[in-house]
């Protein structure tokens, strides 16, 4: 693990979710995964900004999406600059969406 991945790992361990790190998924190894939430977290360094790497990342993300997983990608600079914001975004993704309320029924005329 890189230093930034380790920093995020320490923060993820404090969340109320069961994340695994460096987890194999198919032909890939993801940085972090929470199977219960079907959420994959990737930390991208400079290498991921190269066009050929972006294409491979897109293929990987598409495969993970087909398996029912959502993928969140953060740059190493995001983790370095604002770990709290990164964790807030991850927590928001872990929270189940609010159920849609049924249409309101009018009380009628007085």
- Domain at 31, CATH number: 3.40.960.10
Residues composing the chain: 110
The pLDDT value recorded for residue 66 is: 95
66, part of any domain: yes
Walk along the chain (110 residues) and give the pLDDT tens digit of each residue. Answer: 789 999 999 999 998 889 999 999 999 999 999 999 999 999 988 776 777 788 899 999 999 999 999 999 999 999 999 999 999 999 999 876 555 566 666 555 54
96, part of any domain: no
How far is CA 19 from each of CA 1, 52, 109, rounded to the nearest angstrom?
Answer: 15, 29, 53
Cβ atoms of 67 and 100 closer than 8 Å: no
Cβ atoms of 43 and 8 closer than 8 Å: yes
The pLDDT value recorded for residue 90 is: 95
The number of distinct structural domains making up the chain is: 1
Q: Which domain holds residue 55?
A: 11-82
Return the residue matching tokens 């993704």. Answer: 93
């Amino acid at each position: 693990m890189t230093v930034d991945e380790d920093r995020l790992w320490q923060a993820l361990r404090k969340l109320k979710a069961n994340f695994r790190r460096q987890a194999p998924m198919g032909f890939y190894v993801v940085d972090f995964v929470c199977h219960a939430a079907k959420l994959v977290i990737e930390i991208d360094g400079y290498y991921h900004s190269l066009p050929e790497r972006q294409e491979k990342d897109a293929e990987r993300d598409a495969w993970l999406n087909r398996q029912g997983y959502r993928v969140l990608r953060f740059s190493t600079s995001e983790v370095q600059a604002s770990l709290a914001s990164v964790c807030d975004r991850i927590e928001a993704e872990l929270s189940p969406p609010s159920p849609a309320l049924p249409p309101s029924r009018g009380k009628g005329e007085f």
